[in-house]
Amino acid sequence: VSVLYWNRRFMDEAAQRRDPTDEEAAAAAELIESLEDWFCQGAVTSRVGDALTEIASAPEFAGFNETTDVSTDDSSAHARMAAFTKYSELIDYLLDHFVKHLAEGEAARESVMSDIASTVVALVEDEAKAHFTCVPFIAGALDYSHFAALVSDTQNMLGISNTDDDA
């Protein structure tokens, strides 16, 4: 089951979510801590960083900022959505690798992926808890607006202007 599947499912259900029980909150905290440790490994962080650098430097993202409308009819819109899909597939691949070490069997892996997606959505909504490195990386694969923020932030870190006129 891919991140793109969870994207559609959990972003739609986010508004219907109830507050977690203490047990669910503890399990979510343990999962996110484990995911954070794994995501902060050099190889994983480098892979995500390299992908974001490539995307942020691509011509179709020239003049891009996080408020750039994805539904525009300009020629870059399709390429931007393709970049979002490619990024989502990378995160899906990385998460699948992480989950395989935690759970055996398809049903168990689906359950862990579900827990990851719902935990990330909850953490994104609670800015006080958004200090995890993995949260924006995963949120960027779940939702285009979070992806756009990642690309814009990456452009800022690289010193790439995110306006069309560099005057």
Amino acid at 71: S
* pLDDT score recorded for residue 58: 92
Amino acid at 119: T
* pLDDT score recorded for residue 3: 54
* pLDDT score recorded for residue 123: 83
Domain boundaries, given as residue ranges, for the chain = 3-14+32-158
* pLDDT score recorded for residue 129: 64
* pLDDT score recorded for residue 166: 44
Are the C-beta atoms of 140 and 146 separated by less than 8 Å?
yes
Outline where 40-71 has alpha helix (H).
Answer: 42-57
Residue 144 to residue 41: CA distance in whole angstroms: 25
Where residue 68 falls (left for φ over 0; alpha for ψ -120 to 50; beta otherwise) is: beta
Give per-residue pLDDT as tens, 20-34. Answer: 677 777 888 888 899
* pLDDT score recorded for residue 103: 82
- pLDDT averaged over consecutive 10-residue blocks of the chain (167 residues)? 52 55 79 90 94 94 73 75 94 91 83 84 74 88 91 92 54
Give per-residue pLDDT as tens, 39-68. Answer: 899 999 999 999 999 999 998 888 777 776
* pLDDT score recorded for residue 63: 77
